[in-house]
Structure formats: C-alpha cells, structure tokens
A = this chain, B = another copy of it.
C-alpha cells in the first residue's frame, strides 16, 4: 500500500541544528556507534555539514515520482532521505527538484541511489549525499510511500529522525533521543578541546590516556 504520512515527530529545531554542528563522527560516538550509514554515501561537494529532520521517501527502482509527492511534506529545516525498494543506481534527482526543495527551506538530500546535475547543485549550495553520480533518468509510473520507516544505506530511518551529514558521511539520531545525544556529543567536544590543546603541545596520548601500563600487561615489547 502506498501512503503519505503527513504528520511526523521532529526533534526541537535548536537540537537539530546543534547536532548538525557537532558533526558525524562525534554524534556517532555519542550514541554508542549506532546509526551510521554505509561509507559509500558520499557528498557531491566537500565542506557541507548539516543537521536536519528526515522526511523519508521510499521509491521503486528507477522511478522518482514519489520524490515529487514528498516535496509537499517538507517544512523548513528538513532533509529528504530517499531509499529504494530494491537497489538502483539511476539518477533520481537533479536541479529542478533541488530548486523546489530549496524554496521550501529544505537543507539537502540523502539518497541511496544516484543524483545528477552535480555542477548546478554545487553552484546552488544544495548538498547531496548519494551512492553514485549518474545522469541516467528515471520514470514516473509507480507509487512508493512518504514518511514510512526506511532502510537507507544500511541504516534504519524513522520519519522525523535527525540526520547529521558532513564529509565523513551520514548518521541518524532518533528524534526522541536527540536531546540526550546532543548532551553527550557536546560533552565529548568539551573534553576533546582540552585533549587537543595538550596533544598540540606535544604531550603523548600514551601518557594522557595512561595507556602504558595496560600495554605492558597485554605483553607489548619494546626492542
């Protein structure tokens, strides 16, 4: 059955934004190494970093009709997360859809398939994380669903979940846990600032983390 679920639970905007500022690696660690998408998900240009709420789209292979349907469900601060019902490398998404999404305040696209118009998307500053760049067009013949749970690049995404994406990839945080994970992520950052200062001053991690004794117990030999 093909459905569009119109009401989803998003995390608070400031939590979403601040999770985005923490970055993928930190957020992934803060939630005990869960929720990371597969490493084949790459940004089409370097330097983008976003936090946003997921509007999920489940599409058939080679058919982008439902993305048009999903645009209407986007509110400012959202990101589209597109998964396919079976693997596809087709280019589901290009400049015109980005133009429409950007007009609605959408922060980007995460798609477990192909994207095209990379040059135009880069000029627009519309970030995309995708499996592949592929100009191959799609059709508009078969329905899918909007705002149902999807498996995207090995990660389960519920509509409204927080998506954090940057040059390191894409991480998913459940909307209920978002506040809690943000606290942990910010605590990590605070503790890393101090460590960074000490390491930059030449202190060794071996000493700072007090690893020497345990290494010796494990049997490490210096020769």
Interface residues of A, Cβ cutoff 8 Å to B:
1-6, 23-25, 28-29, 33-34, 36, 38-39, 42, 45-47, 49, 60-62, 65, 68-69, 71-72, 85-91, 94-97, 99-100, 102-104, 114, 116-119, 122, 132-137, 139-143, 149, 151, 154-156, 166-169, 171, 192, 195-196, 199-202, 204-206, 209, 211, 215, 218-223
In the complex, what residues of B have CB within 8 A of residue A134's CB? 36, 39, 86, 168-169
Q: How long is the Cα–Cα vector from A193 to B50 in the complex, in angstroms?
A: 29
- A sample of 26 cross-chain residue pairs with beta-carbon separation below 8 angstroms, ordered by A number, consists of A4-B220, A4-B222, A23-B117, A25-B91, A28-B136, A33-B85, A39-B136, A45-B46, A47-B119, A61-B88, A62-B62, A68-B205, A68-B211, A71-B204, A71-B205, A71-B206, A72-B206, A86-B89, A87-B89, A87-B136, A100-B199, A102-B200, A103-B199, A118-B168, A151-B155, A151-B156
- Using CB atoms, name the residue of chain B closest to A155: B151
Given A2-B220, A39-B133, A156-B156, 11 other A-B residues pairs in contact with their CB atoms under 8 A = A42-B133, A68-B205, A71-B205, A72-B206, A95-B196, A96-B192, A99-B199, A100-B199, A103-B199, A103-B201, A119-B167
In the complex, what residues of B have CB within 8 A of residue A86's CB? 33, 36, 62, 89-90, 134, 136
Known: A96-B195, A143-B218, A204-B71. A6 touches B223 (CB 8 A): yes
Q: How long is the Cα–Cα vector from A49 to B221 in the complex, in angstroms?
A: 34
Q: How long is the Cα–Cα vector from A90 to B85 in the complex, in angstroms?
A: 11
A124 to chain B, nearest CB (A): 10
Q: State whether B4 touches A68 (Cβ < 8 A).
A: no
Q: State whether A33 touches B136 (Cβ < 8 A).
A: yes
Contact of A135 among B25, B69, B141, B201 (CB under 8 A): B25
